Every structure is written in structure tokens, then in C-alpha cells.
Amino acid sequence: MDRALELNLRHDWADLGDVRLHYVSGGQGPAIVFLHGWPQTWYMWRDVLPGLMQRYRVVAVDLRGLGESSRPAAGYDTKTVAQDVWRLMHDVLGERTFHVVGHDWGGPVAYALAAQHRVAVTSMAIFDAPVPGDGSVLTALGRWHFGFHAEADLPEALVAGREELYLRYMYRKGGARPDAISEEAQREYLRTYAQPGGMRAGFNYYREWAQDAKDNLAFIKQGKLAMPILVYGGGAPNVGRGLYAMDSWQRVACDVRGGVAEGCGHWIPEERPAWVVERLLEFFGEVDRRRNAARPLTTSSIPTKRDHMTMFYETIDTALIDVESLPWMPFVPYADNVFLKLIKVDPIRGEWTALLKAPPNIALPMHHHSGTVMVWTIAGRWKYIEHDWVASPGSYVFETAGSRHTPISVGDDEVITLNIVQGDWDLMSPEGAVLAIENWKSMVERYLNFCRANGVKPVDVSSFSV
């Protein structure tokens, strides 16, 4: 589990009385709770959470009976499991409103949660999961294991001692590719499901399917869900649910959008994590902007120039910038020996200008950017692993929008570059998962946080007058 620690996720447990829930959390901003499916745990979101943590507070929970949560004998209907999540988010973590993301069984749990707390759930994103009791005869979509898992005691008896054989079959057959779920993830899932009671708890979810459908019919009679919902089904034939997933949710909710996740089977968040991050940021960003725009404007919400947190760019004058007076900030959490000096941000263009200083013989994470990036080398030599050229003092590198690179310093000298970045700058893992997103807003936040922590008086880096 070292990878989770590297991503600054914190492990906690919430004692709710009848169940003890394990969850991980990190980031800051509006809250999002992530609900996993079977046979997975919170760990299925490992390559999705980092890309959201700079804009949102993320919470990924092990559902009742699964992962590192406790395994009570009863309470596996989605109405009860949803209340577990509600008590965690509202009572323990103090979130009055939050977004929800669900996959597989996390989808029905998300529906039961939203149906019981229609004001608190701001919006939802669902991957390859229908709603039991939606009125369609195709809800289970011919999946043979639904009936098998629902049999009393039989599946436990047949898979006892063969958990790895059975679950690896599921992981292999459920994706658009046999290796859709990594070996690392499979081992983590097997570790928890092979624990005493792990398989029985998973099967218990299927045994409550009829009760879920009955409870959901009662929820539906109260009216369709009103919050925006994003739904994607896997596009691989006979594996993903395709457009049927969205059709199911359109039966129970008013505002449903989405479609088909191409190149995916059932395991969408693990098959295309970077794509999932992009969809979630777009969707939740739109929802949050609409909610903020709908809030009434009061005099207390109007910024003034006395507030150093406020940025001003009303006057467009030529300005001489004293770069020496601006601080070098460590580029944490990516590297503590790489430093940034934020010079200027342009909120209108979505652009930021900064110096970057790196020691010899260091590699930075691979990055992808949505806009153009221009890099002028002041000192030292550096290159991208993907290219055979080497930039030296006086070199000018023009990076086209949509490209990705892995920068490394070359030689024995310190590297200093001047960087003009347009749009988002996405830091990525070697596997292509979005670890974090930097842009002019995050850079200003980084600058202000550094100034507060170090007693530095900040200047308005968004103003073009002195």
C-alpha cells in the first residue's frame, strides 16, 4: 500500500456502531465520495483520486463487509449501505453536501444514497452500473453470477480455498483486455477478499437484489432524482453495459448525460483512469460553477483591494517586475529539491509564467498540457526522455498543445528555465494516470500558501500594474 502514501492519501476508520468503515481521504475543496464495486475495494480508484485532489476533497470508502471495513452479519441491502456512507460523510466528516462517484455495486448504493438525501447529494457520476428496480427487465443483463452469488451458502462452499482462481477469472473476463486490472491491484483485492468473511460479505450484496429493487420502487414513487448525473457504460461487447447503463438511470432521474466508454469493458475506472479524471473534472466543474452562479451576491462576497487574497487585473499597464524579490518555492509534493518562482499569472488567458530550478541528474514526472508551453533555458542542460535533442542556455523549446513529455536534467550543472504555460499542466504516472493538475489557479494558491507559511508579504501576481 506504499503507493497510497505517496499520493498523500490518509487512511482512517469510522466506528458507526453496527459497522466500522475504512476509508482514505485527501485533497481540499468540495467533497466527492467514491464507492467501489465487487470484487474490488477503495483501491480501484487509486489512479483517479490524485487527479482530483487539488480541486476536491476526495473520500474513497471500503463498503460494509469489504476491504478493510468490518463484516457484520446483516445490512447488505443498498438502502442500509447508503446510510453507512451518509453517516460517514455527514456525521463523521461534517460534509453537508457532496458529489458521488460509483462503479458496479457502488452505483446502486449511490442511487439509494441520493434517493434518501436528495439535497445533500450535489451530483453523481456512475460507471457501468444500472439501478435495481428501474422498470427494465434487463437490469442484470444476463450476468450468470448474479443468480449463483444469490444462492444461500453454495458459492461460499464452492470457492472456499479457491478464491484466487475464482476472482482472477472475474478480473480477466470483465475487461476489454485480459490485463485490464493490473497484477498489483488483483493481489490487493485478493488479500482482502480471502480474509475470513470476505467472500460471504460480497455475495450478500447479490442476495439483497430483490430487496433493493423493492426499496428503489418506493424511492421512485417519491419522484425522479433531480441532481445532474453522468453515466457511462463500458463499450466492449458482452462485457460492458454500453448505453443500457444510461438508459437505466434515465428511468429514475431527470438530468442524465453520458454515453459509452470506448475501449473499456466493465472496469472503466481502472481501464481508462486518465479519461475518467477528465470526465469527472469537466462534469463536477460545470455543476459547481452553476451552483456558485446561482448563489445570491452579498456585499460580504464582493472582494476589495484590502484583501491580499484577491487578484486584480482591471488596469493593463506595462510593469517592471522585481523578480529577485519573489520567493523560490519547493515544488512539493512532486520534488522537494526542485523550486518554482511564480512571476505572473493571466486569469483571462489562463496562462502563468514561472522560473523552474532543478539540480543535476533529476527527472520530473511526465506531464501533459492542454495548451502551448514555451521554455527558455537560462542555465544548465536538459531534455525530454522522449526526444533526442538537448536544450542548453539560450535554447527555446516550443511545446505544442496536447503533447506529453518527461523532463530530465543533463550534466553536472543546475538547470534554470523560464516557462510560459497556457491552460492545465497535468502531471502523470508512468502508466498514464493523472496524478495532479497544475494551472494558474493552483499556482496562485501555492504562492499564497507559501507566503503565509513563511511570513512573506505576497504581491498581486495577477496585476499588470505596480
pLDDT tens digits along 332-356: 877 889 999 999 998 877 899 999 9
Q: Which residues are catalytic?
A: 104, 206, 266
Position 300 pLDDT exceeds 60: no
Q: What is the DSSP letter of 316?
A: B
pLDDT recorded at residue 267? 96
HSE value, Cβ hemisphere, 13 Å, CA-based, for 458:
26
Burial of 157 (0-12, 13-18, 19+ CB in 10 A): exposed
**Is residue 441 very low, low, confident or very high in pLDDT (cuts 50, 70, 90)?**
confident
More confident residue, 242 or 304: 242
pLDDT recorded at residue 137? 64
Instruction: Identify the weakest region by mean pLDDT among 106-120, 406-420, 431-445.
Output: 431-445
Position 431 pLDDT exceeds 80: no
Kindly report whether the global pTM for this prediction surpasses the value 0.75: no
Residue 116 CB partners (closer than 8 Å, separation 6+): 79, 82, 83, 86, 219
> Residue holding cell 452500473?
129
> Residue holding cell 455543476?
287
pLDDT recorded at residue 296? 61
pLDDT recorded at residue 466? 45
At residue 125, the 3 state secondary structure works out as: strand
pLDDT recorded at residue 8? 75
- DSSP string covering 164-192: HHHHHHHHHHSSSSTTSS-HHHHHHHHHH
pLDDT recorded at residue 289? 86
Mean pLDDT of the chain: 88
pLDDT recorded at residue 305? 39
Position 203 pLDDT exceeds 60: yes
Average the pLDDT over 181-202 and give the result: 96
Residue 25 CB partners (closer than 8 Å, separation 6+): 9, 10, 12, 57, 58, 59, 60, 93
Burial of 37 (0-12, 13-18, 19+ CB in 10 A): buried
Position 404 pLDDT exceeds 90: no
Sign, CA dihedral 263-269-271-273, equals: positive
**Is residue 260 very low, low, confident or very high in pLDDT (cuts 50, 70, 90)?**
very high
Position 429 pLDDT exceeds 50: yes
Average the pLDDT over 302-325 and give the result: 55
Per-residue pLDDT tens for 142-164?
Answer: 578 888 888 899 999 999 999 99
Among 364, 317, 318, smallest CA distance to 338 is for 364
